[in-house]
Amino acid sequence: MKEYRIFYFILCFISFVTVFAYQGGLTLVIFITMLLLPLVSFLFLLLSCSMVRVQVKCDENVLRKREYGTLKIEVSNKFLFPVHDLRLYGLFIDVGELKPEKKALLLEVRALGNISFDLPFCFRYRGQYRVGADFFELRDLLGLWTLKRQVDKVFDVIVIPRDLNVLENKEVNEDDTSTASRAMGGFNNSVFSSLREYKSGDTLKQIHWKLSAKQDELISKELEQPLNHSAVVFADFNVGYRDEQTFLSITDAIIETMLSINKLIITENNSVKNFWQDTEKCESLDVADVVNYSRLLYTLSLLPPGGGSSLFSELLHLFLKEAAQEKSVYFILPKITESFIELYKHIGFLSRKNVTLITFAPHKESNSSGSRYGFDSLVDDEHYEYMRDKSGAKVILLEPEELSVMKGKWSHEG
């Protein structure tokens, strides 16, 4: 636009000089025309801008991570002349970007016509984002003027964690009349070693419904151990990785693992108490049903990345009050450090059996080899091996993006 204005002032100067040089009627008309052109062009732009309508709709305000949403954009022009160089400014996200950034879409609309298109968006990490159109700009035919018109269609989109079954849930073959003892999940759930006739006092959960239908009589599962009625989850969000993608990936992995454990526990009619720290305070939440689970899901979806390291001791103190011997305990950590091992010994958990320790193996892009991902050296195998061999805990190493098991296993004889 700056170039257009310079060019216009040069023409005005030339026409002004010719008026005094030739003193003719034609040169005077040209000079007056040059002076009036900006005003005419501005009025034309003003009228054109008033005839443009921009509508933006967002089909989803709550999305799962990595799911696609859509911005539906429609631009209509009611003017008798086409609209060129319409710039629609807003917050848009491209493939590979972590969050929406301010961008401009360059559009053209024919006279008395409209255009409509869908603009997909997808987020790699959970959180709250803003997407949509803020305003549009139009320029006049001479390139001298610019008018802005507000659209104000920016939407808040909440991206919730994925619903993953992190725990390997090995189900019993329903067609077998006798089975070996098998684990029903990644924690100390009830397992059964045999089948028997129904006895008064057996719970509905103990009845083998499919086999009972075949035998035309009630068959119960013989429980090997009592039902575990509660568990405690300790999640440490003090990630400590400098790379932004690794930082966000590990934070989301902790949350998705935490939610997966909660979901599986409450489906077994048990309860779980969760402990975590955000950037300002320690938090805890009891989850025993779907309502509480939904509350936990919403809270963790909006949790700011990173936890306060200064709150770790306070959080651990609250956690130990609830971590009674009979409860299943889950530690979800960004990585196993030497300081954590010393703390683990100090609180007397080294010989405890009903503990599951979950940590993560972040990957990094390979810039030289042919493979896409490489194993990150930040994972300390020595600490992992120590906890696996010296403690009574189940120690599991997960890949953070897909939460697949790299080392360890969920279900094993404890």
pLDDT at residue 169 greater than cutoff 60: no
Identify residue 157 by its one-letter amino acid code.
V
CATH at 115: 2.60.40.10
56 within domain boundaries? yes
Query: Residue range 63-86: average pLDDT?
Result: 92
| Domain's final residue, options 140, 160, 180 | 160
Q: In which domain, by residue range, is 348 found?
A: 230-407
Shared domain check, 70 and 43: no
- Least-confidence region, from 70-74, 307-311, 336-340: 307-311
The count of structural domains within the chain is: 3
344 within domain boundaries? yes
- By the 8 A CB rule, do 132 and 90 touch? yes
pLDDT score of 88? 95
412 within domain boundaries? no
Shared domain check, 268 and 133: no
* Stronger pLDDT, 385 or 167, i.e. the higher one: 385
Name residues whose C-beta falls within 8 Å of residue 238's C-beta, 6 or more positions apart in sequence: 277, 306, 307, 308, 309, 312, 334
pLDDT score of 266? 87
Shared domain check, 384 and 239: yes
Question: Between the CA of residue 357 and those of 183, 260, 304, 353, 396, what are the distances in Å?
Answer: 18, 15, 24, 11, 6
Shared domain check, 244 and 121: no
For 258-270, the pLDDT digits (tens) are: 999 999 888 888 8
For residues 241 and 335, what is the distance between their CA atoms, to the nearest angstrom? 10
User: Long-range contact list for 94-100, CB < 8 A, 24+ apart?
Assistant: 95/122, 98/124, 98/125, 98/244, 98/245, 98/248, 99/123, 99/129, 100/129, 100/130, 100/131
3-state helix, strand, coil in the chain (%, to 5): 30, 30, 35
Q: Report the greatest alpha carbon distance in the chain.
A: 119
Shared domain check, 400 and 257: yes
Shared domain check, 361 and 256: yes
Shared domain check, 113 and 58: yes
| Domain's final residue, options 110, 141, 160 | 160
Element (H, E) at 13: helix 2-22
Name residues whose C-beta falls within 8 Å of residue 13's C-beta, 6 or more positions apart in sequence: none
For residues 260 and 267, what is the distance between their CA atoms, to the nearest angstrom? 11
Shared domain check, 43 and 155: no
- By the 8 A CB rule, do 278 and 352 touch? no
pLDDT at residue 43 greater than cutoff 60: yes
Shared domain check, 243 and 151: no
pLDDT at residue 211 greater than cutoff 50: yes
pLDDT score of 13? 72
For residues 102 and 118, what is the distance between their CA atoms, to the nearest angstrom? 18
Asked whether the whole model's pTM tops 0.85, one would answer no
218 within domain boundaries? no
87 within domain boundaries? yes
269 within domain boundaries? yes
Shared domain check, 403 and 390: yes
Shared domain check, 119 and 104: yes
The secondary structure of 335-386, three-state, reads: CCCHHHHHHHHHCCCCCCCCEEEEEECCEEECCCCCCCEEECCCCCHHHHHH
Q: What is the mean pLDDT of the chain?
A: 78
290 within domain boundaries? yes
* Stronger pLDDT, 251 or 310, i.e. the higher one: 251
For 354-408, the pLDDT digits (tens) are: 888 898 876 554 344 433 333 343 445 677 777 777 777 888 888 888 877 777 6
